[in-house]
């Protein structure tokens, strides 16, 4: 697809602009589910940095601001999870960001609940939202912040696991994870992805 070809060296203003997309499902019924950890992290960044994420564009809600002196665009796709890639692709193309300046935040059932893992590239695994992102971008080479939500246990249905009701004690763990993921995004921008990985990747 050649999505990043024009700015792959990070030249010009695009190299100073970051697109940060948090994956989730729109609607009140999904707000506090495990599958909406990407949205929750964007909400933390929005609150921390005073960035209003309410403008409708790119099939998403977006907000523009600055983090660590860099221009950022916060993105919450409104297409529902399985078509998240459409919004991510449109935003990345519009702002012509290099791949290292696209950060996608999402939940991961393969990581323990509350853990964080930053990666520079990689596959989508079993996550349908990430499958859509990779398919739409035509590349796996972009930064992602994975938030562990734990896998299904004791015969629990996987769909119920990711979009079902979360116990109150676990909500606290997920709130803390959303905050750490937001901190990880800030570190990626301010000190670089390698240093951010050293700081936040605690899962073997």
d(CA 60, CA 104): 14
Q: Is 202 a catalytic residue?
A: no
- Nearest CA to 67 among 177, 179, 187? 187
Q: Which residues of 47-58 are buried (b: 16+ CB within 10 A; e: fewer)?
A: eebebebeeeeb
Separation between Cα atoms, residue 148 and residue 141, nearest integer Å: 21
Q: Which of 152, 174, 176 is nearest to 32 (CA)?
A: 174
Q: 6: exposed, middle or buried (C-beta count within 10 Å: 0-12, 13-18, 19+)?
A: middle
Start-to-end Cα distance in the chain: 33
Length of the chain equals 204
Is 4:98 a contact under the CB 8 Å cutoff? yes
Residues annotated as part of the active site:
35
């Amino acid at each position: 697809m050649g999505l990043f070809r024009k700015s792959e060296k990070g030249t010009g203003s695009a190299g100073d602009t970051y697109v940060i997309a948090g994956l989730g499902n729109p609607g009140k019924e999904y707000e506090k589910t495990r599958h909406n950890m990407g949205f929750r992290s964007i909400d933390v960044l929005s609150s921390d940095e005073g960035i209003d994420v309410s403008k409708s564009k790119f099939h998403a809600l977006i907000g523009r601001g600055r983090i660590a002196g860099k221009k950022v665009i916060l993105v919450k796709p409104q297409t529902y999870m399985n078509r998240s890639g459409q919004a991510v692709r449109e935003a990345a193309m519009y702002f012509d960001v290099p791949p290292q300046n696209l950060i996608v935040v999402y939940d991961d059932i393969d990581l323990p609940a509350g853990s964080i893992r930053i990666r520079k590239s990689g596959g989508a695994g079993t996550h349908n939202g990430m499958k859509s992102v990779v398919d739409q971008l035509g590349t796996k080479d972009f930064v992602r912040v994975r938030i562990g939500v734990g896998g299904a246990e004791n015969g629990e249905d996987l769909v119920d696991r990711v979009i079902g009701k979360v116990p109150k004690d676990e909500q606290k763990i997920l709130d803390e994870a959303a905050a750490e993921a937001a901190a990880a995004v800030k570190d990626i921008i301010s000190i670089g992805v390698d240093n951010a990985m050293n700081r936040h990747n605690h899962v073997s």
